[in-house]
Structure 1
Amino acid sequence: MTSTAPHQSILDKPFVLDLFAGPGGLDVAGQALDIPSLGIEWDKSACLTRYAAGLDTLHADVSAIRRDGFESLPPEINVLAGGPPCQTYSVAGHGAGREALEKVKRFIDRLIDGEPDEAIDEDLKKLSDPRTALVLEPLRYAIQATRSPNRENRPYDVIVLEQVPTVLPVWRHYAEALEERGLPEVPGHGRVKYAVDFGVLATETYGVPQTRSRAVLIARRLELGEPSLPSPTHHAYEPRGWNRRSAAAETQGHQPTLYADDDIVPEPQRSPETAAAGEPKKRWKSMGDVLGNRVGAHPGRPTPFLVRSNYGSSGVSGRRGVRTDQQPAFTVTGRISRFVVFEHLNERVVCEGPRFSMNEAGMLQSFPPDYPWSGTAQAQQVGNAVPPAFGMHLLSAALGLPEPDTEILRKPWQAATEEQRAKRRSHGCGSADACTERCPRPEDQVPPPSSRPRRTGKA
């Protein structure tokens, strides 16, 4: 899949290193923009999806590659991207990351001061959840690039990061460090400083058919000019302005009984950064816009339909929200397979229909139809991914490219042949058909039990 639109990047040959690459959202975006990428991912199933999709991949621990394999990375990589795991920062998580934010900021300062990795690693072991430290890896990679003989100590030209909104204070501290102090001094090179822009963006304003807010950061070396966050191309979805009854009456001439005001789950307020990004141009995309028509192996889902989600409900059924096919989806998470879909609406009958397939769930994330989801925990893979349409806008803004045409993502994805898949797995795992000793062990991927009690939604 390639874009036919001519473009001129601020870089002659952009090449992306995608940390915590997941099943390939940012890499799919890169392919649509004709930008090569290499992803590092330690989850076996996500790697199987990537191999099946034909994406260049290392099945590895991001931290281990930085420590022991950095010199093996292609030296021509000049764009660093990453979406560190968000569980400990997420509102839905136990909150270890939110409690550790101030500690993380101090670690950022110590890294910028050039403290030895060994001392920092020892102190990072004291965090209650080691995943919290992963948000530091992009900075540590940026520093490592300036120490790499294979790269001749050449820093990354562009950095692109995204995470859940609660990580915005970390990105703000990243920005202050990169702009005001720069990366630690390297003999003969001095400190490398960046121009940075950051904020919280709503993905539906970039053509993604779901409401999903993300904290993003774009940095460029000062010599490459000031970056700016991508301007929205679509209107924001405002739930208070959505009249379910009017929409139902327009479509059906009557009102289904599931349209209850107290079913509505309030959406998070949009940030000032989103409003400042510019006035969106088009109507947001709805679930029906992307799922209603036949494309590739997707047969098209009959409309109208309703979706009841447990996102944001804390397990309390009475708080579960309902949306119609004329609205964007709720945030697609690893619980997407639990969303209940109702079809055949009329005045008295609302029947439960088939739940979203992984293909449909991926399309709600803006993945192309027929994307080859593989391995286990596919719903989690879908929910954790960067929406490719959003990724196209982030990369385009970071590299100074024109506004991308995300409609290219509506074309069915051509999966890799067996030969292509085997070649990529040989590179990523060390064997054409199996993991090897160099791959992360599954038991190492299970997070430690939290010391905090899990929230149940009970008073």
Structure 2
Amino acid sequence: MAHTAIDLFCGAGGLSAGLEMAGFTVLAGNDLFEAAGKTFEATHPHAKFISGPIEELTIDHLLDVTGLKPGELTVLAGGPPCQAYSVYNHQRGMHDSRATLFREYLRIVDGLRPEWIVMENVTGIYSIGGGEAVAAIKEELAAIGYDVKEAVLRAEDFGVPQERRRVVFIGNRIGTPISHPEPTHGPGRAFPFTTIKDAIGDLPPLGNGEDRGRVAYKGGEATPYQRLLRGNATTVANHAAPRLGKVNMDRLPHIPPGGSWRDIPFDLLPAGMKRAKRSDHTKRYGRMTWDGLSCTVLTKCDIHWGAYIHPDQDRAISVREAARLQAFPDWFEFTGSRTDQYVQVGNAVPPLLGKAIGDHLKALIETRSQKAA
């Protein structure tokens, strides 16, 4: 019997892509971000994209478009918008309307009665009201019959070339013991971390602001990671450099690999950073290193925000490079404006992390089936 999934707050479909890599059939996705929906539709042709706010999503409509009955869905996945929980939002709290969107997710859980649920969010969720949000999620799921456990998963531990921490809730209503996937990458594990060079070293060089449309890969032998994400492709889309202004272009040549704003001559620093302590803003104007991991890919790969300068080219990373650092396959083409494309990439669950979660869920499901037999 096929393992099925529905993805709420699906965005461009990173978690869906990972679940599909693990063998799940994704039947539908819901989001109100129109550009992400177009990407989802193009990259998940067998799934139905339902546009609009989750508050307007009815159980009857979901059952109608998927052909399911309550209780038949294997897993309901979703990551309610994280702005209210993020450490980057210093006004976060349970009073923020976005922090209550998980209750809409719970409404869908109660109506669909999936066997399993997967819910993902930023680690900042732990600090709301001293853990109020986490406690509320678990209590409300328990009230409708779901046992839930959460754990912080590090994307780099599962082959993603990026330092990224996410809280992943896994639950079920069928009494199966719950656990989370075990790390596979890093020192002392089966595989080394995937480096930035492993991830983007085959993409052709770009000038500041250059957009050549679809481009061919660089020559030379591809790394296993590059081969995985290329598939059968010979060219790739979304590899265009954002245009930086002259003042930023004057700053970049002073920043070595692994360097940051501290390497910029004082007279070239932005006014606000001239007053900064040397211990502040450690990632701002950061240049990546080929043998390192990327910092967390955000919704803007803005050099003012973090280490988004290419390791050896004086420019910010392209949408495709950000997507590679998020473990998106190259056949994923992001639609909408370039700003929309960066948002879709930055908001996503890295597909390889989604695959690790999906593989682990399948193992738990199969163990239960074997015991039942």
Aligned to 2:106: 139
Partner of 2:217: 299
1:143 match: secondary structure: helix
State the partner residue of 2:39.
49
Tell me how many residue pairs correspond in the alignment.
285
Q: Give the structure 1 partner of residue 264 of structure 2.
A: none
C-alpha distance in 2, partners of 1:90/1:41?
19
CA distance in 2, matches of 1:49, 1:298: 22
Cα deviations by residue, 1:185-220 (Å, 9 ceiling, x for unpaired): xxxxxxxx3333211111101111000000111112
Structure-to-structure mapping, 1:153-232, within 5 angstroms: 155-168=113-126, 169=131, 170-179=133-142, 182-183=143-144, 193-223=145-175, 225-232=176-183
2:327 aligns with: 366
Which structure has the larger Rg?
Answer: 1
The equivalences for 1:403-414 within 5 A come to none
Deviation per residue, 1:15-41 (Å, 9 max, x gap):
111000001101111222231111101
Question: Which deviates more, 20-29 or 169-178?
Answer: 169-178
Q: Choose the corresponding residue for 1:24, options 13, 23, 30.
A: 13
TM-score when normalising by structure 2? 0.69
CA–CA distance in structure 2, aligned partners of residues 401 and 324 of structure 1 = 38
Q: 1:398 to 1:54 in 2, by over 3 A?
A: closer
The DSSP-based 3-state class of the residue aligned with 1:40 is strand
Q: C-alpha displacement at 1:77, in angstroms? A: 2.9
User: 2-side partners of 1:309 and 1:45: how far apart?
Assistant: 33
Give CA-to-partner distance per residue, 1:97-141, whole Å, 9 cap, x none: xx31xxxxxxxxxxxxxxxxxxxxxxxxxx4x3222212222111
RMSD: 2.9
Tell me the alpha carbon deviations over residues 398-454 of structure 1, each in whole angstroms, 9 at most, x when there is no partner.
23269xxxxxxxxxxxxxxxxxxxxxxxxxxxxxxxxxxxxxxxxxxxxxxxxxxxx
Maintained 8 Å contact 1:80/1:138: no
- Report if the CA contact (8 A) 2:73-2:115 is conserved: no
2:24 corresponds to which residue?
A: 35
Instruction: Give the Cα–Cα distance (whole angstroms) in 2 for the partners of residues 301 and 356 of structure 1.
Output: 20
- State the TM-score, normalizing by the size of structure 1: 0.57
Letter in 2 for 1:93: N
| Distance of 1:45 and 1:134 partners within structure 2 | 21
Letter in 2 for 1:36: T
Is the 2:59–2:108 Cα contact (8 Å) retained in structure 1?
no
**Structure 1 match to 2:267:** none
Unaligned runs of 5+ in 2: 205-213, 221-255, 262-271, 366-373
Distance 1:222 1:54, change over 3 A: closer
Q: Residues of 2 paired with 1:309 and 1:90: CA distance?
A: 24
Pairing partner for 2:73 from 77, 84, 87: 77
Matched-pair contact (CA < 8 Å) for 1:79–1:158: yes
* 2:82 equivalent in structure 1: 86
Counterparts in 2 of 1:369-448, with a 5 A limit? 369-376=330-337, 377-400=340-363
Partner of 1:64: 56
Q: Deviation at 1:67?
A: 7.0
The one-letter amino acid paired with 2:170 is I
**Mapped partners of 1:288, 1:301: distance in 2:** 14
Paired amino acid for 2:50: L
* Alignment match of 1:130 (pick from 97, 106, 122): 97
Deviations 1:138-184 (A, max 9, x none): 21111122xxxxxxxxx2100001100122433444334444xx41x
Query: Aligned-pair distance for 1:91?
Result: 0.7
Partner residue in 2 for 1:285: 194
Q: For 1:330, what is the secondary structure of its paired residue?
A: coil
The answer as to whether partners of 1:292 and 1:301 remain within 8 angstroms in 2 is: no
Distance 1:135 1:307 in 2: 38
Question: Which is worse superposed, 44-53 or 155-164?
Answer: 44-53
Q: What residue ranges of structure 1 are gaps of 5+ in the alignment?
A: 1-11, 101-126, 146-154, 184-192, 237-278, 344-351, 403-459
